[in-house]
Amino acid sequence: MVNNTYPRPRTQAERGLPASRRRFLAALGTATAGVPLLAACGTDAGGPAASDHRGSMGDALPRVRVSQEASPGHEVKRTSFPITAVGLTWTGSPRGVRLRLFDRSGKPGAWQNVTAGCPCGKDTETLRAKSTTPPNRALVPAHGSYGYQLDVDAGVKVIEAIAIDAGHLGRKRRTAPSGTPSKSAPATAPGASGSAVAFPPPGLVLRADWGADEAKRLTADGRESSPTRFTRVQAITVHHTATPVDDPDPAATVRAIYEQHAVSNDWGDIGYNFLIDRQGVIYEGRYSGTDGIPAHNADGEVVTGFHTFGFNPGNIGIALLGDLGKQKPSSRMRDSLVRLTASLAARHELDPLAGVTYLSPTSGKTTDGPALGGHRDWTSTECPGSAAYLDLPDVRERAAQLTR
């Protein structure tokens, strides 16, 4: 296990989005009933920021509504819409926050402990030599609640809370065609029993069809707020999202993760390259252009995500939806993970059973790790959960068999 250095937590002022981006997203929004439209994605407003994001697809997009609070304190925060999830960012103890939800009539539920997710984020240009602590982040399912309240331990400060209504898809999902060709690598590789390992694997759900609002990635002048960068593939890393395993609406959870990553965390997009739900459905993650090849450019390089701090470029991040600390991935989730990792390994000539020497383009440092591993192989974290991590040797073996 490698312990890496992290950038210091940004102050409240530093975490605020550029004013141009705040104005742009605010202009896209429509005020929810009874809630004034403020700086939709900023953290410097005097109260909650509510917005209703729409993009170029207009009414085809799910109706996503947000109420954002800087330094929310201990008061009850109510919304005019049903909450899919509450995103939290805080400093201090990773287990020092409790939350309870309120139904539409104002009745509170039980207090629940909130545990921070794994440390993710952008790589810095030069990794700091002195170790610092990143802010804690979590996404707490709210099950259609209409309010929440926080309680924290001494020394804990909640920097931001964001209540998200991820909406609902009103149309049938489309999937990417299997085996999209590229200039640099074959789309298929020989597999067991004479079959082929095709990329993308069958059934992959494209961004537009899980409801990604591309406007969230853009600044006021239409540029990417976090520009896409591509590098050659060096490794594949598996994560979990620490959300409920039995998720009734995984696509809504993906949209909530996208909202938190792209806007609240100011990453400009979702941090993962792919996500897989319990039924084995694979979702396209971070935007990679218009060439039709998920996660890649036309030259076969992978788009840099924000999933494994210090080891992002050239590292394909796959997130399993659910908390897999004690519960193993379902058979369908595992099968899809095997198919996806096998197709990526074949495409990029990686041996799923081998080790690699990862070279960071940002720091110039080299680190040994697995070609196909878990987040904890690269940094100190519980991700992807002990149950999922103990399952990885079998995933490696099965993926290797498919690529032979």
Q: What are 87-125's pLDDT values in tens digits?
A: 999 999 999 999 999 999 999 999 999 988 777 777 764
User: How high does pLDDT run on average in the chain?
Assistant: 80
Q: Domain range holding 71?
A: 12-165
Q: How many structural domains does the chain have?
A: 2
Question: Looking at residue 132, what is its pLDDT?
Answer: 55
Same domain, residue pair 139 and 212:
no
Query: Is 223 within a domain?
Result: yes
Q: Write phi, then psi, for 377 (nearest 5 degrees).
A: -70, -15
> Over 50: is that where the pLDDT of 402 sits?
yes
Question: Looking at residue 129, what is its pLDDT?
Answer: 39
Question: Looking at residue 90, what is its pLDDT?
Answer: 95
Query: Is 295 within a domain?
Result: yes
The neighbouring-strand residues paired with 235 are: 315
Query: Is 20 within a domain?
Result: yes
Question: Looking at residue 173, what is its pLDDT?
Answer: 55
Question: Looking at residue 178, what is its pLDDT?
Answer: 55
Last residue of a domain, one of 132, 165, 198: 165
Question: Looking at residue 135, what is its pLDDT?
Answer: 86
CATH number of the domain enclosing 245: 3.40.80.10
Return the biggest CA–CA distance within the chain.
Answer: 63
Same domain, residue pair 232 and 358:
yes
Same domain, residue pair 146 and 64:
yes
Same domain, residue pair 147 and 242:
no
Structure tokens given for 106 = 């104002």
Same domain, residue pair 234 and 367:
yes
Same domain, residue pair 224 and 148:
no
Question: Mean pLDDT, to the nearest integer, of 27-54?
Answer: 31
What's the rounded Cα separation, in Å, for the pair 354 and 332?
A: 25
Average the pLDDT over each of 7-16, 155-164, 213-222 and give the range with the smallest value: 7-16
Instruction: Cis check for the bond before 200: say yes or no (omega within 30 of 0).
Output: yes
Average the pLDDT over each of 32-41, 72-81, 130-139, 362-371 and give the range with the smallest value: 32-41
Q: Which band of pLDDT confidence, cut at 50, 70 and 90, is reported for residue 22? A: very low
Last residue of a domain, one of 165, 198, 223: 165
Same domain, residue pair 237 and 278:
yes
What's the rounded Cα separation, in Å, for the pair 191 and 347?
A: 12
Same domain, residue pair 77 and 121:
yes
Query: Is 311 within a domain?
Result: yes
Question: Mean pLDDT, to the nearest integer, of 65-75?
Answer: 94
> Over 60: is that where the pLDDT of 34 sits?
no
Per-residue b/e over 172-191, b at no fewer than 16 CB within 10 Å?
Answer: eeebbebbbebeebbbbbeb
Query: Is 2 within a domain?
Result: no
Give residues with Cβ within 8 angstroms of 246, minimum separation 6. Answer: 278
Question: Looking at residue 124, what is its pLDDT?
Answer: 60
Q: Which band of pLDDT confidence, cut at 50, 70 and 90, is reported for residue 274? A: very high
Query: Is 177 within a domain?
Result: no
Q: How do residues 210-244 score in pLDDT, each as one tens digit?
A: 999 999 999 888 899 899 999 999 999 999 998 88
Query: Is 221 within a domain?
Result: yes
Query: Is 6 within a domain?
Result: no
Q: Write phi, then psi, for 254 (nearest 5 degrees).
A: -60, -40
Same domain, residue pair 140 and 38:
yes
Per-residue b/e over 16-41, b at no fewer than 16 CB within 10 Å?
Answer: bbeeebbbbbbebbebbeebeebbbb
Same domain, residue pair 267 and 353:
yes
